[in-house]
Structure 1
Amino acid sequence: MVKSQVSRVKKIINYMLFGLFMVFAVLQLNDPDPILWFLIYLIVAITSLVSNYIVVPKLFIVLICLGLVVYAAMHFSLLLEWFQTDNKSELFGEMVYEKAYLEGSREFIGLSMALAALLFQVKQ
């Protein structure tokens, strides 16, 4: 394995990303589909941490990013539906089963954050 040479600032950001996505992962254990979301956030967290010590193959990160993009695309229409609603703040409230666009929008946002964190690793 090739040792990573990451600047001090990027290391700090990676530690913060690790902590943030670990919190996200643990919070997902309360979700109706916990395993999938736990694994998504766990992969992002571990990749952020490991990037401080070794070079994570870009192919691995790109493949994960492609998977996230495909999965996010499946939720994009729900995000657009949420954009068309009058009450945008309901996104931060409780899940309402009659409004599937709320969960879909939340999932799209979560996938976008995971994608951004992984793209940060590629840019290093």
Structure 2
Amino acid sequence: MKVFNLICCFLFIVFAALQYNDPDPYVWVPIYMYTAVLCWLAAKKRYYPKLYLYGIGVYTLYAVYKVFDANGLVDWIKLHHAENIAGTMKAEQPWIEESREFFGLLILIAVLAINYYVAVKKRSEKNVMGQ
């Protein structure tokens, strides 16, 4: 888990840095940095299940919003026939940016869920060993 969390921490810091040329970096830099910090702490064997659940909850709500947003995931699938959103780095159309943001949130949710699972498992093992 240490290597997994160090890699995720590094990637999320890079993703946060790439947001500076984004139309809304004030939203995305904190989103990526929140998970990067939690990954760094998890790599140091410091787990915070409540913070993972908080992040999962907030990111899930935001992802649901991104699904139904005017230029969101549904729009991309129905109106634009799920056209390639990874062709270029520059998002020339709004549905490309919104869809990419949705998938970014899914990645963050997955990483937080993995760390939550590990934290709960470690806490459970610790309780069994302590009894």
TM-score range, shorter chain: 0.7 to 0.9
Distance (whole Å) between structure 2 residues aligned to residue 32 and residue 101 of structure 1: 14
What SS class does the counterpart of residue 88 from structure 1 fall into?
coil
For residues 16-68 of structure 1, give each alpha carbon's deviation from its aligned partner in whole angstroms, at most 9, with x where no partner exists: 10111111010011111112100100111111111122432211110111000
Note if 1:88 corresponds to 2:83: yes
Among all aligned residue pairs of Structure 1 and Structure 2, give the percentage whose two residues are the same amino acid: 28
Alignment of 1:37-56 (within 5 A): 37-56=28-47
What SS class does the counterpart of residue 73 from structure 1 fall into?
helix
Distance (whole Å) between structure 1 residues aligned to residue 28 and residue 41 of structure 2: 20
Q: Which amino acid aligns with 2:33?
A: L
TM, length-normalised to structure 1 = 0.82
What SS class does the counterpart of residue 43 from structure 2 fall into?
coil
1:87, distance to aligned residue in structure 2 (A) = 6.1
For residues 59-110 of structure 1, give each alpha carbon's deviation from its aligned partner in whole angstroms, at most 9, with x where no partner exists: 1110111000001111112112212223612x123323xx432221111011
Greater shift, 77-86 or 112-121, is seen at: 77-86
Note if 1:79 corresponds to 2:70: no
Alignment of 1:26-41 (within 5 A): 26-41=17-32
Over 3 Å counting, the alpha-carbon distance change for 1:88 and 1:51 in structure 2 is same
Runs of 4+ in 1 over 4 A off after TM superposition: none
Greater shift, 80-89 or 26-35, is seen at: 80-89
Distance (whole Å) between structure 2 residues aligned to residue 114 and residue 12 of structure 1: 17
Note if 1:13 corresponds to 2:8: no
Aligned length: 112
Note if 1:57 corresponds to 2:45: no
What SS class does the counterpart of residue 32 from structure 1 fall into?
coil
RMSD across aligned positions (CA): 1.5
Greater shift, 63-72 or 79-88, is seen at: 79-88
